[in-house]
Amino acid sequence: MLTFHMDYFTQKNDQWRVEDVSLKSIAEDIHTPCYIYSQTALINAWNAFHTAFKEYPHQINYAVKANSNLAVLNVLSSLNSGFDIVSGGELFRVLKANGNPEKIIFSGVGKTTAELKAALEANIGCFNVESLAELLRLNTVAIQLKKMAPIALRINPNVDPKSHPYISTGLEENKFGIPIFEAIEHYKQAATLPGIKIKGLAFHIGSQVTSLAPFLEALDKIIALIEKLKAIGIIIPQLNVGGGLGVRYQDETPPTPEEYVTAILSKLNNSDLTIHIEPGRAIVANAGVLLTRVEYIKKQGSKDKYFAVVDAAMNDLIRPTLYGAWQDIIPVNPGALHQVPERLFDIVGPVCETGDFLGKDRMLSIQEGDLLMIASAGAYGFSMSSNYNSRPRAAEVMVHQNAYQVVRTRETLADLVKGERIP
Ligand SMILES: *Cc1c(COP(=O)(O)O)cnc(C)c1O
């Protein structure tokens, strides 16, 4: 039997707490749906990667897209974290959250000229360039701004991460990176460009990777490539191995951050490469939950099967709908537990789509009005949320020890139509 995998969400005397605050009290004050993050969980997850490197030169670039709330970014920036961004919007957020520009890495296949300019003007640490076309455009923009753009080429190592097809990125057929067999030609060309300064090499094979083998397979290929580049006089000071370390949602047993870092370092004996990593999910997923309330219980058809219609929906948390992802769903009402018999439920939202579910086939003892927490919702939860069905987006709360703060207020009806005009 696996123990519950969210260290800072605990049940004491029938009360579910995040750190020292009861979830019920937050729901009463802030209402639902509402995302709740543990600051201590965030800090400890980040530190688990950091301490695993010991004295080895490294930089942890938190992948902002996993959870881009300013409070989350600010907690990590106060640990002196770097950041992996994929848009001008994320650049804006990191700078607002007091992130160090020199520790910003800009990834993504479609950086626009405006985004390249903004990042050059902010003096970011590295552009992870994903195509020759992007390299040439970046060179031109840098020359116009009288700057040198620090770059790594993102190389696609053609490795199968064995996760969901939508979040596999390091296969030949994916849109990401430069094919490994073209890497040397591209580096040779980069070395001739006056607006470009070669800083490193990057790869990222996918997300929710639950074994070490794909990372190590990619590393072997990439280290051999770095040796070949060295032989022709192209020196790579930084190796960015991307993100993608998986977490436990149900019964997965991914490597710990320590096992992951140790395995990477074991491939690098006597090298003088600085290692960059880009964990997103592994830092935030199990630092957050989505709190929701049961609005209605209904029985449909002849089977002994019920729907719990809750006040959160696919617009708040799309992972179950998009990837068929499984996240634990736990009743948090103190005292109400086990007052009703367990029944088989699909947990669904109010959105007008059959795909609008948060969990299926769960045995739960719940009734109307009960509070539920959707576990492991800190990553790719709020950051993928939308206003579909004209639903204002949820509030976000950060807990630290016995206190909490709203770090994003619930959207209002006025927010919904902000910027719209009737001509
Ligand atoms: C999404 C992404 C990450 C983070 O992935 P996780 O699975 O959340 O760790 C890191 N690097 C790049 C380039 C990404 O696109």
Nearest Cα to Cα of residue 64 among 47, 45, 48, 88: 88
Residue 336 has pLDDT above 60, yes or no: no
Q: Does 107-279 match 9-38+285-416 at the fold level?
A: no
- pLDDT band at residue 338, thresholds of 50, 70 and 90? low
Supply the pLDDT for residue 335.
59
Nearest CA to ligand 1 atom 3: 243
Q: What is the pLDDT of residues 223-279, one digit of tens each?
A: 999 999 999 999 999 999 999 999 999 999 999 999 999 999 999 977 899 999 999
Q: What is the pLDDT of residues 159-175, one digit of tens each?
A: 988 877 777 777 777 88
Helix (H, G, I), strand (E, B) or coil at 259: helix
Task: Please state which of the ranges 32-41, 153-162, 311-320, 355-364 shows the lowest mean pLDDT.
Answer: 153-162
Q: Could you tell me the distance, in angstroms and rounded to a whole number, from the CA of residue 337 to the centre of ligand 1?
A: 38
| Homologous superfamily assigned to 9-38+285-416 | Lyase, Ornithine Decarboxylase; Chain A, domain 1 (2.40.37.10)
DSSP state letters, 325-368:
----EEE--TTTTTSS--EEEEEE-SSSSTT-EEEEEEEE---T
Mean pLDDT, the chain, whole residue set: 95
Question: What residues does each domain of the chain span?
Answer: 9-38+285-416, 107-279
Give the atom of ligand 1 at the shortest distance from the alpha carbon of 128.
13
Mutate to test the pocket of ligand 1, among 59, 278, 380 (most ligand atoms within 8 A of CB): 278
Give the atom of ligand 1 at the shortest distance from the alpha carbon of 86.
15
Q: Could you tell me the distance, in angstroms and rounded to a whole number, from the CA of residue 155 to the centre of ligand 1?
A: 14
CA angle 50, 163, 290 (to 5 degrees): 70
Helix (H, G, I), strand (E, B) or coil at 142: helix
Supply the pLDDT for residue 334.
61
Supply the pLDDT for residue 409.
98
Supply the pLDDT for residue 7.
95
Residues with a known catalytic role: 352
Question: What gap in Å lies between CA 170 and CA 184, rounded to an integer?
Answer: 18
Residue 340 has pLDDT above 90, yes or no: no
Q: Could you tell me the distance, in angstroms and rounded to a whole number, from the CA of residue 47 to the centre of ligand 1?
A: 18
Name the percent of the chain lying above pLDDT 90. 90
Supply the pLDDT for residue 300.
82
Mutate to test the pocket of ligand 1, among 46, 204, 210, 380 (most ligand atoms within 8 A of CB): 204
Q: Could you tell me the distance, in angstroms and rounded to a whole number, from the CA of residue 63 to the centre of ligand 1?
A: 6
Q: Could you tell me the distance, in angstroms and rounded to a whole number, from the CA of residue 204 to the centre of ligand 1?
A: 7
Supply the pLDDT for residue 269.
79
Q: What is the pLDDT of residues 121-163, one digit of tens each?
A: 999 999 999 999 999 999 999 999 999 999 999 999 999 888 7
Supply the pLDDT for residue 128.
98
Nearest Cα to Cα of residue 19 among 400, 366, 393: 400
Question: What gap in Å lies between CA 290 and CA 37, rounded to an integer?
Answer: 9
Give the atom of ligand 1 at the shortest distance from the alpha carbon of 202.
13
Q: What is the pLDDT of residues 385-413, one digit of tens each?
A: 999 999 999 999 999 999 999 999 999 99
Residue 2 has pLDDT above 80, yes or no: no
What CATH code is assigned to 107-279? 3.20.20.10
Q: Which residues line ligand 1 (CB under 6 A)?
A: 63, 65-66, 84, 107, 204, 207, 242-245, 278-282, 379
Nearest CA to ligand 1 atom 10: 243
DSSP 165: G
Decide if 11 contacts 289 (C-beta within 8 A): no
Q: pTM of the prediction?
A: 0.97
Question: What gap in Å lies between CA 119 and CA 126, rounded to an integer?
Answer: 9
Decide if 385 contacts 394 (C-beta within 8 A): yes
Contacts of 287 (CB under 8 A, 6+ apart): 6, 8, 37, 38, 41, 42, 45, 378
Q: Could you tell me the distance, in angstroms and rounded to a whole number, from the CA of residue 278 to the centre of ligand 1?
A: 6
Task: Please state which of the ranges 80-89, 166-175, 295-304 shows the lowest mean pLDDT.
Answer: 166-175
Residue 337 has pLDDT above 60, yes or no: no
Residue 202 sits at φ, ψ, to 5 deg, of -130, 150
User: What's at 236, amino acid-wise?
Assistant: I
Give the atom of ligand 1 at the shortest distance from the alpha carbon of 379.
8
Mutate to test the pocket of ligand 1, among 107, 208, 260, 283 (most ligand atoms within 8 A of CB): 107
CA 248 vs CA 26, 159, 210, 257, 376: distances in Å: 25, 22, 9, 12, 8
Name the percent of the chain lying above pLDDT 70. 98
Give the atom of ligand 1 at the shortest distance from the alpha carbon of 380.
8
Q: What is the pLDDT of residues 4-38, one digit of tens each?
A: 999 999 998 778 999 999 999 999 999 999 999 99
Supply the pLDDT for residue 13.
78
